[in-house]
């Protein structure tokens, strides 16, 4: 079946530190991959996405590369800020054959806290 495994948190970093949150997936075919971010008390916002192998998604200094050979989509940022403190979710989208609907499958989320 389809599933996403992401690194367990919480992750605690000092401002300007380097961030990596690991994400691996299991899926047949060629899913699209996403990172969503959730700030306290809010819904999810799309952070970045990649739709095919070797694509790199990037936004707000965050990057992730779709690696089909390792079935991974690790999130990275070179220098985190206090405002990056949030929960980060890795997700894959898989469309069933003959369907126009792409279901999302989420990882469990990783809590990031950045201290000044």
H-assigned helices in 23-105? none
Check residue 101 for interaction with another protein (CB under 8 A): yes
Nearer to another protein, 16 or 42 (CB): 42
- Candidates 74, 89, 112, 114: give the one binding another protein (CB under 8 A): 89
Nearer to another protein, 67 or 95 (CB): 95
- Are residues 37 and 88 in contact, defined by beta-carbon separation less than 8 angstroms? yes
Q: Stretches 14-22, 38-46, 60-68, 73-81: which one binds another protein (CB under 8 A)?
A: 38-46
Nearer to another protein, 19 or 48 (CB): 48
- Candidates 49, 57, 66, 75: give the one binding another protein (CB under 8 A): 49
**Pairing assessment for the beta strands 23-26 and 19-21 based on DSSP bridges:** unpaired
Check residue 95 for interaction with another protein (CB under 8 A): yes
Cα gap 22→20, rounded to integer Å? 6
Q: Please tell me what DSSP assigns to residue 72.
A: B
CB atoms within 10 A of CB 23: 25
């Amino acid at each position: 079946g389809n599933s996403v495994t992401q690194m367990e948190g919480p992750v605690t970093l000092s401002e300007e530190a380097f961030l990596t949150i690991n994400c691996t997936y299991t899926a047949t075919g060629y899913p699209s991959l996403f990172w969503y971010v959730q700030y306290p008390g809010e819904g999810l916002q799309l952070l970045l996405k990649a739709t095919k192998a070797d694509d790199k998604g990037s936004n707000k200094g965050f990057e992730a590369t779709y690696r089909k050979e390792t079935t991974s989509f690790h999130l990275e940022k070179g220098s985190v800020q206090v405002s990056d403190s949030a929960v980060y979710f890795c997700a894959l989208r898989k469309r069933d054959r003959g369907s126009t609907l792409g279901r999302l499958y989420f990882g469990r989320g990783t809590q990031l806290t950045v201290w000044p």
